[in-house]
Amino acid sequence: MNQLNKRRTDRVSKEIAASTSTIYQAILNPNALVSWLLPEGMRGEIEIYEPWESGKFQISLTYLDPEYSQAGKTEGNKDVSKGIFTKLIKDKQVVTEAAFESDDPTLRETMRMTWNLETVPSGTKVEIVAENVPSSIDEKAHIEGLSSSLANLAAYISRNQ
């Protein structure tokens, strides 16, 4: 079985009481992003963030709980993800491709993250589609992490509107 056959697609969505424009800006603004993207128990730092097509990004995530002191994909308690913005459709979609810095070859392969924004009566339906998710990333934990990010985004929007 080749490596691509071992990969999967994870998908989560949430309706958030805000316009698609507000959500889109919260994704593209690095200060906003670092405040809501990370699941509980992590700290983040955006080292590079060029939110335009072909622009690069590098984000470091650190696990704060000592229980996860060796949970990092890059080293110890740290994940470093590097990628590019591949597609931006104003107020509708953000697509990135990224890989982790890691000794594990499955984590160095590109994962595509698509953020779809759709106007609904209650505001915006935000859908995250993660394609080519490395098999070494636990599916349940990944879906919980993505769902946590959407809950954090809703809370961020609520506080800042």
Question: CATH number, domain at 17?
Answer: 3.30.530.20
What is the residue whose two structure tokens read 């992590």? 42
Please tell me which residue, 111 or 73, carries the higher pLDDT value. 111
Are 63 and 36 a contacting pair, CB within 8 Å?
A: no
pLDDT (average), residues 92-114? 91
| Cα separations in angstroms, 131 against 6, 40, 47 | 12, 23, 24
Quote the mean pLDDT of the chain: 89
Confidence of residue 66 (pLDDT cuts 50, 70, 90): low
Confidence of residue 27 (pLDDT cuts 50, 70, 90): very high
Confidence of residue 62 (pLDDT cuts 50, 70, 90): confident
Are 79 and 73 a contacting pair, CB within 8 Å?
A: yes
pLDDT at 76 over 80: no
pLDDT at 81 over 50: yes
Q: Mention every residue, 6+ apart, whose C-beta is less than 8 A from residue 133.
A: 7, 8, 9, 10, 111, 139, 142
Containing structural domain, residue 105: 3-160
pLDDT at 2 over 50: no
The structural domain count of the chain equals 1
**For position 68, what pLDDT does the model report?**
57
**For position 4, what pLDDT does the model report?**
46
